[in-house]
Structure 1
């Protein structure tokens, strides 16, 4: 359904350090703070940030009828700059009707199927990436504030467990890098705290915009662990946990990442 990610295994020296080093969690910072000053400026400049091309495509799709007989998104969500501002800060969230955990992509797909009567786009398709980037961009600058209590609690706990669990042939956990090795270098990149505030984002390695799940799949490949499907329950739960770690940080979509 989506395109496979190409990840890279960590360098042997850092792997050894990660295994020996007990994770120490510091104040959570946005991944933008780990970019070079030039990339930070490029991300902030709509004219120079290539991801804004996807935002513009999403804006067009939002106002376009998928078929002559179907309604456009804007029919229900008039003046989206006001009506949808803040929406992305609350995702992933539990759908009250189904009890399923939905991220922003899942909610858009749900609307497309149930409200517009259309087949889902599918993860990593240009259409879904563009619509997700557009809707998320409407909340740019607002703080993340996902729910982790009530119906969301078991999903949050599952995500936390996955973040802390050693995985793959390298026997590494997310927390060993994203808590224990923050600020150190890995193949020329600076290890961040792994929050997803900028996704969908334009990643230089991809030369393309991709979802957070594409990045998570690359991390799974990097430690030689199982790559779950795009939209898999494991990655949805992990996405919720990462959003909770980033509570209070601003939405930065569309971001730039190395």
Structure 2
């Protein structure tokens, strides 16, 4: 396992998804696809999957055919090494690389409706599968970097991700339960946002919350944090699209 030695957090038998910290109403909303608002993004993503784009006039389906089979398990393996750069890329970055290289069309902006729709649609094909970060030795140093970032104190409040999500998980902050910060459900529909959002958006929100300057979308720091969180949640089931408060 590329980052098993670098991954920490709660012992496997003590890990809980953010879903387990939610009340019955939110859990019921997530379970029922007819009520889950995140399914609207999944439906948008399905339409985009089949829509020709760019100078090539290719759709995602032109190369990958039916996502139900070709994308099964794919999101559970991201972030993964990009062979061109030899660095990890997130699922959203991989989608944009495909758009650039194979559809010859502009990249989709971070947090845009279309990118979140495609991410949600692809990740939804892995719902119910365990997170399975690649057993790629090249990822090891990046997982270690992600762990260092997770444990680094930041901002005017001098808090690290681990300060809340390892040492204070299950307690309350501002009336809200602190989850263990497992990245097994993104993109998520967040009631506070009244919309869908990526893991990078959530990480940036947390950084702003401790009064630190958030890393830029797509930055090496955010991708290595994503990678560490994936390793930390290895074996937990993909829930996309999840619902959170």
TM-score, L = length of structure 2? 0.93
Identify unmatched segments of 5+ residues in structure 1. 1-22
- Residue 74 (str. 1) matches residue 61 (str. 2): yes
Determine which of 194, 212, 216 is the counterpart of 1:229.
216
1:44 Cα deviation after fit: 1.0
* Alpha-carbon contact 2:9-2:232 (below 8 Å) kept: no
Determine which of 162, 175, 194 is the counterpart of 1:175.
162
Q: 1-side partners of 2:185 and 2:103: how far apart?
A: 28
Distance 1:176 1:140, change over 3 A: same
Match of 1:216 in 2: 203
Match of 1:15 in 2: none
Determine which of 100, 104, 129 is the counterpart of 1:113.
100
CA deviation map 1:185-204 (0-9, x unaligned): 11222101111211111111
1:148 Cα deviation after fit: 6.2
Match of 1:13 in 2: none
Determine which of 138, 147, 152 is the counterpart of 1:165.
152
* Alpha-carbon contact 1:24-1:180 (below 8 Å) kept: no
Q: 2-side partners of 1:102 and 1:58: how far apart?
A: 20
Match of 2:25 in 1: 38
* Alpha-carbon contact 1:29-1:246 (below 8 Å) kept: no
SS, match of residue 189 in structure 2: strand
* Alpha-carbon contact 1:25-1:180 (below 8 Å) kept: no
Q: 2-side partners of 1:194 and 1:44: how far apart?
A: 20
SS, match of residue 256 in structure 1: strand
Distance 1:175 1:69, change over 3 A: closer
TM-score, L = length of structure 1? 0.88
Match of 1:187 in 2: 174
Distance 1:67 1:233, change over 3 A: closer
* Alpha-carbon contact 2:75-2:91 (below 8 Å) kept: yes
- Residue 126 (str. 1) matches residue 104 (str. 2): no
Identify unmatched segments of 5+ residues in structure 2. 1-7
1:55 Cα deviation after fit: 0.3
Match of 1:49 in 2: 36
CA deviation map 1:11-62 (0-9, x unaligned): xxxxxxxxxxxx9845222111111121111101100000100000000000
SS, match of residue 98 in structure 1: coil
Q: 2-side partners of 1:148 and 1:234: how far apart?
A: 21
SS, match of residue 202 in structure 1: strand
Q: Which is further off, 230-239 or 65-74? A: 65-74
Q: Which runs of 4+ in 1 moved over 6 A?
A: none
